[in-house]
Each structure stands twice: as C-alpha cells, then as structure tokens.
Amino acid sequence: MTLNPIVLVQSFEALNFLEIDEVRVIASISSCFMIFKFFDLLRIFEETAYYILLLQETIFGIQFYMILILLAFIMFGIPMGILNFNRFADNEIIEHPTTVWFIDLLINQYIIALGDFMMLVTY
C-alpha cells in the first residue's frame, strides 16, 4: 500500500523526481502486491477459501521441483553466459532485458525451456 502513493505523486507533472522506467517498475510491483492482497482477502469467503488453500498447497508442494528447475537453469545458463562474453554486442547469445547478468541468464534459459529455439538457430 505504500508504493501506490509514490506512483500517484509521481504522476503529477510538477513532482517528477523519478524516471518513467522507475515509475513503471514501482507500479508493477505495487499492482502485484495488490493482487496478492486480493487473494488473501478471498480467504474470508467460504466458497473461495477452498481454492485459495488449494493454490497455497500446490505452490508449497512444488517447491522442491522449482529448486531443481532453478538449478538446471543455472547449470545451463552460466556456460552460455561465459560463451556470451566473447561475442560482439550485435551478435550476443543472451539478450539483456535487465541490467543484472544473472537474471538475464535465468530469463534466457526460461525462454529456451519454453521452446524458443530460434534464438539459438540464428547464432
């Protein structure tokens, strides 16, 4: 709830103390927290409480599988990152949607795991 006033105040033209990219990140995090809070409020009603509990149990049940998936992404992503260091900027294997190299590796491996092999074919 504290991030919403920041986005609201930043929307006034006289109070531009953040860049538009920073405001978009804050707004997306804020909306994500609001959706989490909405799901938390759905536990009040008997009809929806069962499904929220089912969702929580499912997420809790797959936590060890998600650790294995994360380790597999890291296992294949780090060698790709090392190979990427020898490439020029216009011919890189790993794109840079963020400025953090480790997150870029994870995003790249996730996209490849989804089946986007065109990224590998063009190089």
Look up the domain containing 28 and give its range.
3-60
* 67 and 115, same domain (yes or no): yes
- Among the candidates 60, 85, 101, a domain finishes at 60
Q: Which amino acid is at 33?
A: F
Q: Is the pTM value of this prediction over 0.85?
A: no
* 10 and 54, same domain (yes or no): yes
**Mean pLDDT score of the chain:** 80
Which of these, 88, 90, 85, 81, lies nearest to 109 by C-alpha position?
81
* 46 and 78, same domain (yes or no): no
- Are residues 60 and 40 in contact, defined by beta-carbon separation less than 8 angstroms? no
Which of these, 52, 103, 63, lies nearest to 95 by C-alpha position?
103
* 50 and 80, same domain (yes or no): no
- Among the candidates 33, 60, 87, a domain finishes at 60
Give pLDDT, residue 26.
Answer: 77
Name the maximum alpha-carbon separation found in the chain. Answer: 58
Q: Which residue has the higher pLDDT, 70 or 28?
A: 70
* 104 and 115, same domain (yes or no): yes
d(CA 75, CA 5): 41
Range of weakest confidence among 13-27, 34-48, 56-70: 13-27
Average the pLDDT over 40-58 and give the result.
89
What total of structural domains would you count in the chain?
2
* 54 and 70, same domain (yes or no): no
* pLDDT of 98 higher than 80: no
Across 50-59, 93-102, 106-115, which has the greatest mean pLDDT?
Answer: 50-59
